[in-house]
Amino acid sequence: MIKLHDKYFKPFISAKDIETAVDKLVAEIANDFGDEIPVFVGILNGSFMFASDFVKKYPKPCEVTFIKLASYEGVKSSEDIQRLIGLTQDLTGRTVIILEDIIDTGKTLEEVHRIFKNEKVNTLKIATLFYKPEAYKKDFKLHYIGMEIPNKFIVGYGLDYDNLGRDLPEVYQIKETQHMTNLVLFGPPGAGKGTQANFLKEKYNLVHISTGDVFRYNIKNETALGTLAKSYIDKGALVPDQVTIDMLNAEVEKNADASGFLFDGFPRTTAQAKALDELMDTKDSQINAMIALEVEDEVLVQRLLERGKTSGRADDADEGVIRNRLKVYYDETAIVADYYTAQNKFIAVDGVGSIEEITERLSTVIDKL
């Protein structure tokens, strides 16, 4: 993570991946133009590093020049394109290839086309190292693209944020930090996760996401994901992790302005934990802690048997079934604790006592976060 002025940026594209994209563009253009001598035109300021690396790698004779345009103020592309330095050579009848560092809205590209229309060039081609398809609003053809990227602000490799960051050899993406507290509430069957989740979500203004509730909602409402999940369940197969994470993503998207999330019943495997980390990273957020309610087996068995008298759940009424559920938990699910322990995010809380006592213990932990 780096800080430029008042904003933070996270690693996005490595120097090696940038070099691969430049090599790709060089190979494509050299193959298309053979022994013809093109004029490469870099768009300053951003393309100076890209243009330099490109022409150094270009295997045939070529010419290179620059024009300077300005269209960014801070992190937003402005509507006003200023031509600050123009061309100093006659390009009539020449093949011109624009070397752009990045194309997003296309406003700069529009000005480029206007400039070179007046220059009466024979051929005009556009090559850009980075391209944001989600942001592009123009109809001009892009002939060569190094790589497509999401519509998020980036710095490095010639790109800046208020004049800082151009010198970085890698590319960084802005971290639009969500000021969230995201928790995973963990524990074996009967530990009291659901009960405590109801108190915690109110106290800390968190959105409670229970995997069971999410599944039931999607299946009942016959959403695309619910129908897909049901097709696996009906066959007695496990629902793939990606289907589950897609459901959770939909819930997170519904509550984009939330103060944070309390995940209950997920993740159940290390693979799911990694998928959840990736999901939260796309929201420029993270899981702050896994809080595990720890309760001895005999207490759990008695709790579940007692719950079975009123819950109507068959798996709460049979001691043998209950003990098997606990075994499955320890064999398959408890290993997720190791994943969060490795990140220093695992916190164990005594889950025995009154509901109020346990809530107070959990609150003490969360307050420190």
| Beta-bridge partners for 171 | 13
Sign of the CA dihedral 147, 150, 151, 157? negative
Q: 224-234 vs 211-220: helix axis angle to the nearest 10? A: 100
Q: Is 313 annotated as a binding residue?
A: yes
At 88, is the secondary structure helix, strand, or coil?
A: coil
At 273, is the secondary structure helix, strand, or coil?
A: helix
Cα 164 → chain centroid: 24
Nearest to 129, CA basis, from 67, 33, 40, 31: 40
Q: Is 364 annotated as a binding residue?
A: no
Instruction: Please tell me the distance from the alpha carbon of residue 157 to that of residue 49, in angstroms, as a whole number.
Output: 6
At 141, is the secondary structure helix, strand, or coil?
A: coil
Q: Is 171 annotated as a binding residue?
A: no
Q: Is 212 annotated as a binding residue?
A: no
Sign of the CA dihedral 249, 254, 260, 261? negative
First to last CA, the chain: 21
Q: Is 128 annotated as a binding residue?
A: no
Q: Is 269 annotated as a binding residue?
A: no
Q: Is 38 annotated as a binding residue?
A: no
Q: Is 267 annotated as a binding residue?
A: yes
Q: Is 265 annotated as a binding residue?
A: yes
Catalytic residues, by residue number, are 193, 268, 307, 313, 325
Q: Is 268 annotated as a binding residue?
A: yes
Nearest to 290, CA basis, from 184, 205, 174: 184
Write the CB contacts of 18 (distance below 8 Å, at least 6 apart in sequence). 129, 157, 169, 170, 171
Q: Is 216 annotated as a binding residue?
A: yes
Q: Is 42 annotated as a binding residue?
A: no
Binding residue positions = 190-195, 211, 216, 237-239, 265-268, 272, 307, 313, 325, 353
Binding residue positions for ATP = 190-195, 307, 353
Binding residue positions for AMP = 211, 216, 237-239, 265-268, 272, 313, 325
